[in-house]
Amino acid sequence: MTAFRNRIVELRRVRASELRRNPRNWRQHPEGQRSALTELLATVGFVGAGIGRDTADGVELIDGHLRADLADDSEMPVLIVDLNEDEAAKVLATYDPLSALAIPDVDAFKLLLTGIELDEHAELRKVVTDLTRKYAEREGTKEDDRLDVPGMALQPHEHYDYLVVLASTTHEWNVLCDRLDLPVVKRRNRMGLAHAIRADKLVEMLGSKTK
């Protein structure tokens, strides 16, 4: 059995503003990722530590740059590791890509999501919904009921482009539901009804049009 070296020196809490960003960091963070992580930190908090090493200029990050940016002047947990510059570069280059090589168990992922409530967190809901959709398509499954996660069904929000069609009569509503293969839901009160349909499904149903 191989014995691996433990390069972790300590767990230290450091003000995020004092952490030195690694000049060789190659990872960029789009606004959607920043917003999703902000929601997670605001609702749950830190559940993992960044990775850094002591240098003459202070603690230099290897992993955790986005968390440090969002934490601003708050204290952030950082695992201090005993790595030289070359070793730190090797970890910086491979840490995220190695994690991305994991193969998802889609059914286990959906079971994990059962009971998780994300209705108030648009960014996190979008991340999970998009992941579920990608995993299902990887399996060759495109049925909508396999793509919708409990509490995370397709909903219009600022990160989707969407087209709204208003039905002013029951007849119009029934015809639209029939033509788009959507279940007809009868009105039970004075509140209006709504359906959300993915654009790729609608385009497929309408057929490709070329000029």
What value does the mean pLDDT take over residues 24-51? Answer: 93
pLDDT at 119: 66
The answer to whether residue 143 is domain-embedded is: yes
Residues 85 and 126 in one domain: no
pLDDT at 176: 84
Residues 155 and 165 in one domain: no
Query: pLDDT tier at 134 (50, 70, 90 boundaries)?
Result: confident
Residue 86 tokens read as 């070359």
pLDDT at 192: 61
Q: Residue 208: CB partners within 8 Å, gap ≥ 6?
A: none
User: Other CB atoms closer than 10 Å to residue 38's CB: what's the count?
Assistant: 15
0.85 exceeded by pTM: no
pLDDT at 47: 95
What value does the mean pLDDT take over residues 55-78? Answer: 96
The answer to whether residue 168 is domain-embedded is: yes
Lowest mean pLDDT: which of 96-100, 168-172, 184-188, 194-198?
184-188
User: What is the DSSP secondary structure assignment for residue 115, as one 8-state letter?
Assistant: T
25: nearest Cα among 69, 70, 55, 63: 63
Domain final position from 100, 122, 144:
100
Average pLDDT of the residues of the chain: 82
The answer to whether residue 187 is domain-embedded is: yes
Residues 91 and 56 in one domain: yes
Q: Which residue bears the tokens 């090589």?
A: 101
